[in-house]
Structure 1
Amino acid sequence: MSDAQRLTDLLRRDRLLVAPGVYDGLSAAVASRAGVEAAYLSGAAVSAGEGLPDIGLTTVTEIARAVSVVRRQLDVPVIADADTGFGDETHTFRTVRTYEDAGAAAVQLEDQVFPKRCGHLDDKALISADEFVLKIGAALAARRRGALIVARTDAIAVEGFDAAITRAKRYAAAGADVIFVEAPQTLEQVAAIPTAIDVPVIFNVVPGGKSPEVSREQLQEFGYAGAILPGATVGAAFDAMTRAMTDIAAGSLSSGPITSPRALFAAVGLDAWAARRTPKESARA
């Protein structure tokens, strides 16, 4: 079964799919050891890992490389953030091809102008729904491995909730496999989105963002197929690194809670790699 089909099955079951965010080999290895069912490759997290804010500065090749690195550690479907497709419909076509080749099970596109801004920042701008429908068509035509196309609209912050629902319905009618309405501002809006859309809908969990807090049970009750947690690993890493650097600057020689170098390397496959290496003594014999 392909990763895209596995992801489809996970999104169409009765239980909410939770896809934590990953952005590099270590975060993916930690997610794999935790037994996640799917993962979300966060463009914001990849940008932060490159030392950049999430304002459209990373490129298709940088994020596609992150997809391939993550897939080396994770044998589960990966939903990959593709921002705006990195340009017009021709760029979108290339992006979907590139992401599929890197191992993405789903490609997420959004209707902001290029360059985009994080969905939970202010001052966003949108392209027309007509233009985004062209991008969806290009994405569908580009597929060779059946990757799901996730269509995200950021219209709530720009045009209002009703306009966002109108856009979402149109994107679903254009062939998007999954819909993502970014940053609903009230619990009533969160609840209303899935009932208005005929294809699976996912919710973006962003602590400290523009959406209200919501539980897993509430999302399932509202009818969401999945929830993504883009900051799950990069946020934890940022907090831990901040504490470690603050302690070191204050005079500590602690390098964090890792118990030993071996524990760290074991998380990224030390034993499996060591088992593949022929001992030198045996090779000489």
Structure 2
Amino acid sequence: MLYGTTTPQAKRRALRERLASGELLRFPGAFNPLSARLIERKGFDGVYISGAVLAADLGLPDIGLTTLTEVAGRGEQIARMTELPAIIDADTGFGEPMNVARTIQTLENAGIAGAHIEDQINPKRCGHLDGKSVVDEDTALKRIRAAVEARRDPDFLIMARTDIRATEPGPGGLRLAVDRARALVDAGADAIFPEAMRTLEEFAAMREAVDVPLLANMTEFGKSELFSTEQLADIGMNIVIWPVSMLRIAMGATDRALDELHAEGHLAGKLDEMQHRAELYDLVDYESYNRFDSGVFNFEVRR
């Protein structure tokens, strides 16, 4: 009933233990709290909270318009609904190194298990768009050092994301990404998110370059090929995310349903595509609320 029972500290510790095992952890993107609960029920390993999804939820593009308050507030709503650890997209940390420090502590307070900070300039752009620019190495390292210094729970995962691969289309871009990843690890990053890797071989090169956990972003319609979990596990990746997939599917279904409603005046032909009322009630755990209500209000005071 209400929210998950596992504490944020326990979720973070469990995530660290799972990462140490070397297995590939699957983190679908949740677009709201209820979808996070469904991700848990389907047997996945964690929940990813995408900055692009949070921006889209507000009707905004993913170009750095969301604020720390908005991201942390929505992140807390999603993370508290599940027993799974949640990793959140913290963009560039919402400002200078001191802002990055505040970001980490705010996300700790929100019950998040880990966050990634990227090396793009402000305002940032979606990781798979053209025209991105990254900051110099000194600035990127200061962000990660600030994040590491600020955290109070040592199990909170500080992940560094580098977008440098896409800044140069040829093999030089991969070399720059590898060098940046190594420097970020030296600065204290617990894990690396190499954004916009184009091939499995590029992921493998990154795996060979650093010893910390690596995240693979399998977003659709982007610059990376869409590899299976088996392929990613075979080259030693540790986390795979599908950041916007569930939102895309939900919005695609909604788009088609609205067209049918406009054309037919009803949705009788879409019933088999809908989550049944009984399934929704089960997912939100109506029965527990009924039991709680009965236990609180249906009693007698003995005199």
TM-score w.r.t. the length of structure 2 is 0.89
Change (3 A) 1:265 1:59: farther
**How many angstroms apart in 1 are the aligned matches of 2:131 and 2:150?**
31
Q: For 2:29 and 2:180, how far apart are their aligned partners in 1?
A: 26
Shift in Å, 1:190: 2.4
C-alpha displacement of 1:188: 2.1
Is the Cα contact below 8 Å between 2:80 and 2:111 reproduced in 1?
no
Distance of aligned partners of 1:213 and 1:220 in 2 relative to their CA distance in 1, 3 Å threshold: same
Shift in CA distance, 219/281, structure 1 to aligned 2, threshold 3 Å: closer
Cα drift, residue 23 of structure 1: 2.9
Match of 1:12 in 2: 20
Deviations 1:6-37 (A, max 9, x none): 11121221321111111311211211221222
* Matching residue of 1:204: 217
Letter in 2 for 1:161: L
Residue 231 of structure 2 aligns to a residue in which SS?
Answer: helix
Distance across 1 between alignment mates of 2:157 and 2:183: 17
SS in 2 for 1:179: strand
- State yes or no: 1:53 paired with 2:61: yes
Counterpart of 1:35 (choices 43, 47, 58) is 43
One-letter amino acid of the counterpart of residue 105, structure 1: A
Structure 1 counterpart of 2:186: 173
Aligned-residue offset at 1:62: 0.9
Q: How many angstroms does 1:151 deviate by? A: 0.2
SS in structure 2 of the partner of residue 277 of structure 1: helix
Q: What is the TM-score when the length of structure 1 is the normalising length?
A: 0.94
2:97 equivalent among 89, 100, 103: 89
Picking from 266, 279, 286, the partner of 1:270 is 286
Does 2:169 correspond to 1:156? Answer: no
- Alignment partners' CA distance in 1, 2:294 and 2:121: 53
- 2:22 maps to 1:22: no
* Offset of residue 191 of structure 1: 2.2
In the superposition, relative to structure 1, how do residues 6 and 279 fare at CA in structure 2: closer, same or farther (>3 Å)? closer
Q: Deviation of residue 280 (structure 1)?
A: 8.9
Instruction: Work out the CA distance in 1 between the residues paired with 2:288 and 2:132.
Output: 46
- Give the 5 Å matches for 1:1-285: 2-146=10-154, 147-159=156-168, 160-254=173-267, 257-258=273-274, 260-278=276-294, 282-283=298-299
Q: CA RMSD in A?
A: 1.8
8 A Cα contact 2:90 2:116, kept in partner: yes
Whether the 8 Å contact between 1:39 and 1:78 is mirrored in structure 2 is yes
Unaligned stretches of 5+ in structure 2? 1-8
What amino acid maps onto 1:277 in structure 2? D
Stretches of structure 1 lacking an aligned partner (at least 5 in a row): none
1:129-187 CA-to-partner distances (Å, cap 9, x unmatched) read 11111111110111112211010000011141111110000001111000011011233
* Identity %, equivalent residues: 39
CA distance in 2, matches of 1:22, 1:259: 17
Contact 2:218–2:225, Cα closer than 8 Å, also in 1: no
Provide Cα deviations, 1:210-243, integer angstroms capped at 9, x if missing partner: 0112121111111111111102321221111111
For structure 1, which segment, 28-37 or 249-258, has the greater mean C-alpha deviation from structure 2 after superposition?
249-258
Contact 2:31 2:247 (8 Å CA) reproduced? yes
Change (3 A) 1:80 1:250: same
Matched pairs, number: 285
Higher alpha-carbon deviation: 187-196 or 134-143: 187-196
1:72-121 deviations in Å (ceiling 9; x for gaps): 32111111110000111111011101101001111111000111111011
SS at match of 1:15: coil
In 2, the alpha carbon distance for the partners of 1:284 and 1:249 equals 54
Does the 8 Å CA contact 1:205/1:228 hold for their aligned counterparts?
yes
Counterpart of 2:165 in structure 1: which amino acid? I
Query: Which residue identity lines up with residue 80 of structure 2 in the other structure?
Result: R
Indicate if the aligned counterparts of 1:59 and 1:86 stay in contact, CA closer than 8 A.
yes
